[in-house]
Amino acid sequence: MKTPTQLRLAAVVLLVSGCLFAQVQLPDTPAAHQLSAWLAAFNSGDRASLLTFLQKNFPARAAEIDGEMGFREQTGGFTVKQAGECSAAKCSAILQERGSDQFARIVVEVDPAEPHTIKGIELRASPRPTGFSIPRMTEAEALKGLRSYLDQAAADGHFSGAALVAKDGKRVFTAVYGMADREKKIPNQLNTQFRIGSMNKMFTATAVLQLVQAGKINLNDPFGKYLPDYPNKDVASKVTIHQLLTHTGGTGDFFGPEFDKHRLELRTLQDYVKLYGERGLAFEPGSRWEYSNYGFLLLGLVVEKASGQDYYEYVREHIFKPAGMNSTDSLPEDQAVANRSVGYTKAEGATELRPNVDTLPYRGTSAGGGYSTVEDFLAFANALANHKLLDAKHYDLLTTGKVETPRGSKYAYGFGDEISADGVRCFGHGGGAPGMNGDLKICPQSGYVIAVLANLDPQAADHAAEFIAARLPKN
């Protein structure tokens, strides 16, 4: 006979392996019928069935069948958890991914006339609704549940990487799965260096706050004060350091056709400014939040000007070295790094994983693209908490949320700041690109630090980090 603890863990394993899907019935309207029919076709995982449905009911989406199937593989499908407003022409619902704890809101709009062809489907990630809280477990139960989750995800091909959980600065859980190099048959290890995408933003923001603490940067200054030669004087005079740090400056992204065209030519931070520095603002600075990789690229140049050091040298000397992060850097891709893993991605329509080498920049920047280990991220979290990198005042300034984001959390300076429905606060940052995904969560009240890195496409690491963060004890 199973104990209550064993029953709870069994339920967790069933949930994450896709066996418990309590579907909510939608109202009897044309839009609701189309939502249910799309979901059935999508959840089937059968390309022919989904394509047939789209060709008949949503022709505009049929050409994107490869993307639809990729999304299906990533999510595992969806279960309706809560019906929303449903009229004859429009219906909304709250869904949950079958393969994770992630919730989403879907809105389907149809033609009012027969045969009620779908005019549009909007599907966006959303916070977990009230009434769907995940019960907290004991530490032992939660970690056992995480092990089961990762075992299943790895077996299904959805996780390859390393995971670490620490309590009060000390490791309480580690696990590694998959191959760092599939061709050479090198397995992932705890010290494997994974590319971390946008997680570098935490290092850049920490560097800026160090220079603020030293009196060399003023958060309210326009960045043009530090970069007087910036090509677009209007942009440089309007956007403040604070706005760059919080993604409210309107400076936009640099990924896209121009990046793809010049990917290997962009070798220094200044090279990016040469390519993008003439363009104007996407919106009035301070008027809204919009994630800006280019804004953090500019912050790297601000660090150089304010410190008098090369950006890469600065973070090595002032962040990595004092924190004891011996396996973190952003060396160019053409330089050999002994323990750096190969990232594996699946292109739209492809059935096999391939190395992500043709998507990588020449090297990581102040906006992202370096590499690290889960152990180094624990060292980073410990160094912050122990004020080895910043004093208490500037540590709080760095990590306390300042601007609301569309997902309901707040953004601080290079750190996301989120409070769960049951009141647990964690801050950190994720990163993702083809063949790479990572997440760091620092939960100060409970004392837990979660670091997960993967050499697969998003959301391989994100989902694992979110899974354990929702189940660990509150204190």
Bridge-partner residues for 432, per DSSP?
A: 437
Looking at 87-169, which runs of residues are DSSP E strands?
90-97, 103-110, 118-126, 161-167
The widest CA-to-CA distance across the chain, in whole angstroms, is 73
Helix (H) / strand (E) containing 323: helix 321-323
Sheet strands side by side (includes 90-97): 78-86, 90-97, 103-110, 118-126
Decide: residue 422, CB within 10 A, 0-12 exposed, 13-18 middle, 19+ buried. Answer: exposed
Rounded CA-CA distance 138/161 in Å is 25
Whole-angstrom Cα distance, residue 23 to residue 281? Answer: 45
CB atoms within 10 A of CB 67: 12
Q: 281-285: long-range contacts (C-beta < 8 A, 24 or more apart)?
A: 281/234, 281/235, 281/238, 281/239, 281/249, 281/250, 281/251, 281/252, 282/250, 282/251, 282/252, 283/250, 284/250, 285/238, 285/239, 285/240, 285/243, 285/248, 285/249, 285/250
392-399 and 200-213 are packed helices; what angle lies between their axes, rounded to 10 degrees? 140
Residues in the chain: 475
The residues carrying an active-site annotation are: 198
3-state DSSP assignment of residue 455: coil
Q: Are 292 and 249 in contact (CB under 8 A)?
A: yes
Distance between alpha carbon 277 and the CA centroid of its chain, in Å? Answer: 27
Helix (H) or strand (E) holding 269: helix 269-276
Question: 410: left (phi > 0), else alpha (psi -120 to 50), else beta?
Answer: beta
